[in-house]
Amino acid sequence: MPVTVGSNPRGMDALAALLAERFAGELTDVRVQEPDTVVVRCAPEKLKDAAARLKADPEVGYETLNWIAGVDQRTGIEAVYHVYSWKTNTWLQIHVDLSREQPEVDTVSDVWPAADWHEREAWDMVGIRFLGHPDLRRILLRDDFVGHPLRKDYVDLAENHPHV
């Protein structure tokens, strides 16, 4: 079936309400960020199921993952998924709060294949472990690099660069 690029005939507020209703219990704090983005929160243990349902939804279908941002919020780590719907021509930001001590969440690389490298980058730079990822290893830094340099508590020491 060909993908048709659409528009959002219902408007952003109605789209946010639809997502809040259809994904109640999975997506929380649903709000509109103008002009074309809905921002939501999702618990780590609910992300994988919510992602699969969001992608498969016949009305809104967030089929495309564009990037994942790992964010150090000092009190915790956040994984932010930026997904796009060709059907509604809208963006969805899914914010997932993770513990600072053990930032882990299930991989969504089997839902959105583009997540593969984005999850590797978030692991490399911020230290988010994506459980079930097929090949979670460094992608930007050397394999023997110590630490995750975008963590706010990261201190760059000579020991972090054993082969320099």
- CATH number of the domain to which 39 belongs: 3.30.460.80
Assigned token pair, 11: 């408007």
pTM above 0.85, yes or no: yes
Domain span including residue 154: 12-160
Please indicate, yes or no, if residue 115 is contained in any of the structural domains. Answer: yes
Evaluate whether residue 6 is within a structural domain.
Answer: no
pLDDT of residue 34: 80
Would 5 be classed as within a structural domain? Answer: no
pLDDT of residue 156: 86
Q: List per-block mean pLDDT (blocks of 10 residues) for the chain, which spans 164 residues.
A: 61 95 97 93 98 96 97 96 95 98 98 98 98 96 90 86 69
Instruction: Report yes or no: 89 and 7 within 8 Å, Cβ to Cβ.
Output: yes
Please give the pLDDT value at position 159: 77
Q: Is residue 137 part of a domain?
A: yes
Token representation of residue 23: 């994904």
130: three-class secondary structure by DSSP: strand
Domain presence at residue 102: yes
At 8 the pLDDT is 79
> Which tokens go with 42?
């999702």
Dihedral sign (CA 35, 41, 44, 50): negative
Let me know if residue 78 belongs to a domain: yes
Q: Cα 113 to the chain's mean position, in Å? A: 12
54 closest CA partner among 96, 20, 23: 23
Residue 129 falls inside a structural domain: yes
- Name the token pair of 99: 């513990």
* Residue 145, pLDDT score: 86
Amino acid letter, 124 = D
- Asked whether residue 2 is domain-assigned, the answer is no
Count of domains forming the chain: 1
